[in-house]
Amino acid sequence: MTVFCGIDWADDHHDIALVDDSGRVLHQQRIGDDVDGWNQLLEALAAHGDSADAPIPVAIETTRGLLVSCLRATGRAVYAINPLAVARYRDRHSVARRKSDAGDALVLANILRTDLHAHRPLPDDSDQVRAIAVLARAQQDAVWDRVIAHNRLRSLLHEYFPAMLAAFAGKRGGLMRPEARKLLAAAPTPTAAARLTITQLVAVLRRAGRVRQLAAGAARLQAVLRADYLHQPAVVEQAMGVHALALLALLDAACDNADQLAEAAAQAFRAHPDAAIITSFPGQGELTGARILGEIGDDRARFVDARALKAYAGSAPITRASGRVRSVTTRRIKNQRLAAAGYVWAFSSLTASAGARAHYDRRRARGDAHVAAQRNLFNRLLGCLHHCLITGTPYDESTAFPAPTQRLEPAAA
């Protein structure tokens, strides 16, 4: 008798259901989200034939959390079922649209009973790569938070302090530059900024870590800050300055978090065996490599072939055909984090690889927009990465982008 388990998880409790291969309900129970609940789950599984040699597979609607981590530690297959798919399966058992936690656990168990072949268990990634994924995703979130904080601050400064925006217009990083943040902290209003002397501006630049051309930089800033601009009323300007300092604190925290997490992710990535192969590719730095590795993992059996990896990353198009209608469109359902890292990777490779640049130019010449050409280049690089990881070989430019062969015209008679 084959047994399948479904778990409907919640914050403080979980509902479990066990069914056999004929659909008969063997066990249903609600357990707590604690050690006692975990022990009750193990006892229920053991009572229905669970063993180290033949663990009972489990279906659950999440890939994260302590419960999932403990289930994976037992060596059993854990299937993360999309909640939208569970909702569709629920309609197979009832058309009344009723729903309960216990019923959802039963639906999850029956999903494995009827369609186990159509679902994939969570990959058997190493703890090392899972730690890299945690750090890389946290750093990516910090970068996105930094962009949000920057845009909010920039929008406010546009309303009352255009001189600050003009002072760092065209500078890489803009308001995220250390000297911009230190300057705004020292003078959050245009009136206060216009009073700053060269000595004070030099001190601001020095606090920001700048060591060269301090006097010239201070003179440039003073000229910009003392130029003629429109002003808000004094009271309103002062209030906006207080608001700007609050937003600046958020931006400072986001910048510090992004930098610290970037270093931690790079350090963890360097210790992984796949790091040497990944960084052998053009345009691959340690941070981008950590993001790529964190999303694809190091379980070589996770993707059947390169096409499966490309579909997971969203770089391969999707075909929809019905009757006489056939369309090839961009894949929307994908790993968004991997797709974002892939765009950065492909963009960086344009200046690091002549083959990548030529491939991009060919796609553009065929009519692809910039984003489409970048995605196609990422698709090509991802296929090469899959091959290199499977075979354990580093990147080779001549293999990835072989020189095009020229057609020989037949000799004249």
Percent of the chain with pLDDT over 90: 78
Quick one: residue 395, left, alpha or beta (phi over 0 = left, psi -120 to 50 = alpha)?
Answer: beta
pLDDT given for residue 91 in this prediction: 82
pLDDT given for residue 325 in this prediction: 86
pLDDT given for residue 228 in this prediction: 92
pLDDT given for residue 273 in this prediction: 95
pLDDT given for residue 408 in this prediction: 54
Q: Does residue 271 sit in helix, strand or coil?
A: coil
Q: Are 195 and 203 in contact (CB under 8 A)?
A: no
End-to-end CA distance of the chain: 78
In the chain, which stretches have pLDDT less than 50?
413
Q: What angle do CA 143, 145, 151 make, to 5 degrees?
A: 105
Q: Are 28 and 103 in contact (CB under 8 A)?
A: no
CA 261 from chain centre, in angstroms, equals 14
Strand partners, 325: 322
pLDDT given for residue 205 in this prediction: 94
**Tokens of residue 150, six digits:** 């920057």
Q: How many CA atoms lie within 13 A of 247 on its CB side?
A: 21
Tokens 């994976």 correspond to 72
pLDDT given for residue 322 in this prediction: 84
Within a 10 A sphere around the Cβ of 6, how many other Cβ atoms? 29
Spatial separation of the C-alpha atoms in residues 286 and 279, rounded to whole Å? 7
Quick one: residue 25, left, alpha or beta (phi over 0 = left, psi -120 to 50 = alpha)?
Answer: beta
